[in-house]
C-alpha cells in the first residue's frame, strides 16, 4: 500500500511539473492569467472575495495579483458606491485581448490530453480530477 502511495505521489508531482513548466508565452504569471480568465467568464461584477473563494487562496494574495494586473493595465478597480473600502474589478480591453491571444496556448496541453486519450478516457480523467479537487477542498476546510 505504501509503495502505491509513493508511486501515486510521484505521478501526480510529475503531472504538475509538466503542466507548470509548459511553455506559455504570456507576459504575466499563470496565476494572474487564471484570475483574468475567471473575471472574463463572469456575468456579474467580481469582488476580491469571489476570486479568493474560487481559487481558495488568501485575500492578501488576491490583492497582490489584482494590484499587479491593474499596474499592467489588464484590470481596473471600480470603487463601491456605498462602501469606501469595497470594490469590484473589471477586465480592460488590453486584458481581454491577452486572454483571447493566450487562450490557445494556455489550453494546449489539455487539448492534447483530450486528443490523445480519446473522449471517453478524457471525460473519466476530468471527472476523477474534479472528485479529487472536491475531496482535497473539503479537507482544507
- pLDDT, one tens digit per residue, over 36-78 is 999 999 999 999 999 999 998 999 999 999 999 999 999 999 9
- pLDDT, one tens digit per residue, over 76-108 is 999 988 888 899 999 999 999 999 888 776 677
Give the cell for residue 24.
Answer: 506559455
Domain with 32, as residue range(s), is 2-106
Tell me how many domains the chain contains.
Answer: 2
Q: What is the per-residue pLDDT for 108?
A: 79
**What pTM did the predictor assign?**
0.70
Identify which of 35, 33, 16, 15 has the alpha carbon closest to the alpha carbon of residue 24: 33
73 and 102 both lie in a single domain: yes
3-state secondary structure the chain: CHHHHHHHHHHHHHHHHHHHCCCCCCCCCHHHHHHHHHHHHCCCCECHHHHHHHHCCCHHHHHHHHHHHHHCCCEEEEECCCCCCCEEEEECHHHHHHHHHHHHHHCHHHHHHHHHHCHHHHHHHHHHHHHHHHHHHHHHC
91 and 141 both lie in a single domain: no
CATH number at residue 84: 1.10.10.10
21 and 54 both lie in a single domain: yes
> Could you tell me which residue, 60 or 14, shows the higher pLDDT?
60
Amino acid at each position: 500500500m505504501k509503495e502505491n502511495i509513493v508511486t501515486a505521489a510521484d505521478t501526480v508531482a510529475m503531472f504538475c511539473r509538466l503542466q507548470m513548466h509548459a511553455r506559455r508565452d504570456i507576459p504575466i504569471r499563470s496565476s494572474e492569467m487564471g484570475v483574468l480568465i475567471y473575471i472574463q467568464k463572469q456575468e456579474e461584477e467580481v469582488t476580491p472575495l469571489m476570486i479568493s473563494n474560487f481559487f481558495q487562496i488568501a485575500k492578501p494574495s488576491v490583492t497582490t495579483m489584482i494590484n499587479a494586473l491593474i499596474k499592467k493595465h489588464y484590470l481596473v478597480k471600480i470603487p463601491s458606491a456605498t462602501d469606501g473600502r469595497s470594490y469590484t474589478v473589471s477586465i480592460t480591453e488590453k486584458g481581454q485581448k491577452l486572454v483571447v491571444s493566450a487562450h490557445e496556448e494556455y489550453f494546449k496541453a489539455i487539448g492534447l490530453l483530450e486528443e490523445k486519450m480519446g473522449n471517453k478516457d478524457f471525460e473519466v480523467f476530468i471527472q476523477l480530477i474534479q472528485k479529487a479537487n472536491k475531496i482535497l477542498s473539503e479537507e482544507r476546510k
